[in-house]
Amino acid sequence: MLRKLLFPFLSLLVLINIYELRTKSSTSYQLGAFSLPRVLFSSELTRDTNHLPAIQFLEEDRPLSPRTERYLRKGINFMHKFYITKFGYAFPKDFTVKIRVFRDLSDYQNYTSQVASSPIKAHIGLYVHHLQEIIVWQGPDSLRFMKTVFHETSHLMLRSQSNFCPRWLNEGLSEYFEELDVTGEVPVINPQPRKDLRLKERLAKGEIPCLNDYLTQTNRQWSRADNSSDSPRMIAWSLVYYLMEKEEGQQVVKDMLHYFKRYQSSPDQITQTVNTFTEMDSLTQASALGANEPILEQDWLQWIGQQRMPQSLDTKVLPSDYWLEVRKWIALNQRK
């Protein structure tokens, strides 16, 4: 019974926000029977965006150029502030981003083979949680190297507050921040044209998998599929880019991260029920909109066909009372 009450919660979070995006209304919530109070991090009360993280570069072969190090520090500091303001994270004052950099590929491979907890496919960077350390091969491509650092930094920041997160969300956020560009006055996230083009091609051929099947995979299932196909990572990037495009979607991501911070004792069971699309019509009264398929999936598929643009980022704090009307509705219905 408890599982049935808890698991549709994330569906509710996603659906309410997508419903708002479609109706452009912040007050006309149409909610179903499945609901729980929003789970808040205590970190939302202790956020300090002026306290920068300690950033340590452990160069095994040769030092980074001053220009590269300055750029990476600027990007990591921005990500730290973004995770605080947008996702409600709070980092300890001694929070450290430790990055071990190898110039020699064989040295990198030898080191990662010793510290990785399980065999991994070919890569040029990874985050090792039990060491709280990012390990990266610098290689000849400096742009690829910096993107990898940002990718793995997102893993580190996310995992610093949660021992569990669905792989699609964890990897989707890392794929998202991989394209962080801090060269201008306003940081931007650039799209990934190759992934975007392949998704458009698959959409035209009707080869996009059912979103319900994708989101309800266990982390083991997702990882197995990712080892043999580019599809899981492509969809993860697309879903996160889609959600992060608007403030309402950013709030969805924030609440999912909060949910998994609180309910992380049974990862497989939680991931299997991230989104129950079979209940979408009753939860959102989609029939009133004339929708014959789940609203989230419908909107996302339409979005895939559109042109991708860079996303300008800010660190404006998301409104803390965003779910006030939701909580009022829950309280009202609990009394009935």
Instruction: Note whether 143 and 244 are same-domain residues.
Output: no
Please determine, for residue 307, whether its predicted confidence score (pLDDT) is greater than 90.
yes
Q: What is the number of domains present in the chain?
A: 2
Instruction: Note whether 101 and 55 are same-domain residues.
Output: yes
**What CATH number should be reported for the domain holding residue 48?**
3.40.30.160
The whole-model pTM stands at 0.78
Of the ranges 24-33, 100-109, 212-221, 283-292, which is most confident?
A: 100-109
Question: Rounded to the nearest 10 degrees, what angle do helices 219-228 and 231-243 cross at?
Answer: 120
- d(C-alpha 67, C-alpha 70), whole Å: 5
Mean pLDDT, the chain, integer: 75
pLDDT of residue 214: 84
Cβ 11 vs Cβ 19: under 8 Å: no
Spacing of C-alpha 333 from chain mean position: 32
Which structural domain range is residue 93 located in?
44-160
Instruction: Note whether 314 and 226 are same-domain residues.
Output: yes
| pLDDT bucket at 97, cuts 50 / 70 / 90 | very high
Instruction: Note whether 218 and 295 are same-domain residues.
Output: yes
Nearest to 303 by CA among 18, 5, 98: 18
Structure-token match 């209304």, residue found: 25
Which run of H or E residues covers position 13? helix 9-23
> Can you read off the two tokens belonging to residue 256?
């999912």
Tell whether 280 is covered by a domain: yes
- d(C-alpha 157, C-alpha 180), whole Å: 15
Cβ 270 vs Cβ 27: under 8 Å: no
Q: Alpha-carbon dihedral of residues 301, 303, 304, 310, nearest 10 degrees?
A: -160
Tell whether 36 is covered by a domain: no
Instruction: Note whether 54 and 135 are same-domain residues.
Output: yes
> Can you read off the two tokens belonging to residue 116?
């990785």
Task: Find the angle CA(271)-CA(276)-CA(279) to the nearest 5 degrees.
Answer: 165
pLDDT of residue 15: 40
pLDDT of residue 34: 27
pLDDT of residue 317: 76
